[in-house]
Amino acid sequence: MAAMVQLRNERTSEIKAVKVGWSWTLFLFSSVAGIPLLARGLYKYGAGMAALSVAAAVASAVDSPVYGLLILFQIIASVQFGRLGNRLTALHYLENGWEWAAPDDQETMYAREKWALA
C-alpha cells in the first residue's frame, strides 16, 4: 500500500491526505478538460489540459493532421501528471499555508525525501 501523508490547514485545522507515489486519478482523467487538476487547485495545469482538450476536439472536428500530435501531447502530459501529480498537489498546499500534520512521522519523512522537500 502506498504511503499517505496528512497536511493541516493552520487557520481552519482542516486535514487533507495526499498519497505518495503514482496518481491513477490524474493519469486516467487529467485529459478530461483538466478537471482533477482544477479540483486539486492546480489551476495553471488544469487550464493547460483544458486548452489541450479543446484544441484536440477542434482538430478532430475539422480533420486536422495536428490531431494526432495533440493526442500524443495529452498522453505524455497524463503520464507526467500520474507520476508527479501528488507531489504538485502537496507543494500547492504547502505553498498556501498548509503544514505537515505529523512532521516527525515516518511517512512524512519518506514523502519529504521522495518529493525532495525540506
Residue type at position 52: L
Instruction: Tell me the C-alpha to C-alpha distance, in Å, between residue 43 and each of 33, 38, 61, 95, 104.
Output: 12, 5, 27, 14, 30
pLDDT of residue 92: 95
Query: What number is the average pLDDT over the span 1-13?
Result: 88
Residues 62-107 have pLDDT tens digits of 888 899 999 999 999 999 999 999 999 999 999 998 999 998 999 9
* pLDDT on residue 1: 58
Map residue 98 onto helix, strand or coil: strand
Query: Across the chain, what does the average pLDDT equal?
Result: 92
Angle at CA 29, nearest 5°, toward 112 and 41? 50
Instruction: Using CB atoms within 10 Å of the CB of residue 111, give its burial: 0 to 12 exposed, 13 to 18 middle, 19+ buried.
Output: buried
Average pLDDT over residues 33-62: 93
Task: Please check the confidence at residue 49 and state whether its pLDDT lies above 80.
Answer: yes
- Percent of the chain scored above 90 by pLDDT? 77
The pLDDT score that the predictor gives to residue 9 is 93
